[in-house]
Amino acid sequence: MAPITKCFALLSLVLSVTALTSPHISNNVFDHRRAVARVAVQAVTGQVDAPLASKRKRSLNKRCSPKSSGNSTTSSFPSSSASAAATSVPVNVAPSPVLPSSSSYHSYSSSQSIYQAPTPTPTPTPTPTPTPTPSSSTTSQAAQTSSTSSGSGVPDGYLSGINAGQGTYYSTGLGACGITNSDSDYIAAVSHLLFDSFPNYDGVNPNTNPVCNQQVTATYQGKSVTVKITDRCTGCALKDLDFSPSAFSALADESLGRIDIDWSWS
């Protein structure tokens, strides 16, 4: 029993010296007392518990260092050199990305050429030119000018050339053209068909009929006579002429009454 007591006393002495040399024991008396009691129990029972991890104290460099167990004969708390070594471990730090400055961005943007589509040129729409419409008076005047190319004043193509018909005579007086004649005058009346259909006649006032005062030359068996149209014959065919007695006598005897003639505008 005496050797066990001596060992226990020696172990207690070693632990006390170790606790006094440790800086953490002086700061925490309760931890020191618990460690001494735990070592005494282990010496009596012969069981060794797993060392309890002591509380860690934050160092000035904000890194945690583990404390050594209480039953170690040599204190293994990290020294200032170990802390310095841990601090000096190189840490890989990713470089900060280099952002393009605003001046370089603007210079790049300004150096880029921007394509602009050409603006289409509108095609002018031609404006139709209105065609002037000739008035009725202009048309009639042009028709009269173009149709009366001969000296007789009769439109070209209207009963032109030699016309064959019959000749008669009648007692003269006031004619359809508004002219009063005598039997001695060399005049004649045309058919009502020719009188009413003569070009440019309005069919209203017979005194203004363009056929009035037109001259006609008639022939019969080698004889000819020139007369002026002053009247309208209602019983004559289209190409017949009704003469004054003196004009008829210039062609044939009045006793014949009706003769076949040829006539033309003169």
Q: Is the pTM of this model over 0.75?
A: no
Dump pLDDT digits (tens) for 101-114: 554 444 444 445 56
Across 232-248, average pLDDT: 95
Which band of pLDDT confidence, cut at 50, 70 and 90, is reported for residue 172? Answer: very high
CB burial readout 162-179, b (16+ within 10 A) else e: ebebebbbbebeebbbeb
Please give the Cα distance from 212 to 195 (Å, whole number).
9
Average pLDDT over residues 66-82: 46
Q: Which comes out higher in pLDDT, residue 30 or 159?
A: 159
- Span 78-89, mean pLDDT? 44
Q: What is the Cα–Cα distance from 80 to 87, expressed in whole angstroms?
A: 10
Q: Region 25-36: what's the mean pLDDT?
A: 62
DSSP 68-122: PPTT-SS-----HHHHHHHHTS----PPPP-PPPHHHHHHHHHHSPPP-PPPPPP
Structure tokens at 265: 């505008």
Give the H/E segment covering residue 33.
Answer: helix 29-45
Is residue 72 predicted with pLDDT exceeding 70? no
Report, as an integer, the average pLDDT of 202-225.
95
User: Span 4-23, mean pLDDT?
Assistant: 76
Give residues with Cβ within 8 angstroms of 264, minimum separation 6. Answer: 160, 161, 162, 163, 216, 217
pLDDT(235) > 90? yes
The pLDDT of residue 48 is 53
Q: Please say if the pLDDT value at position 76 is more than 50.
A: no
Model confidence pLDDT, tens digit, residues 192-210: 999 999 999 999 999 999 9
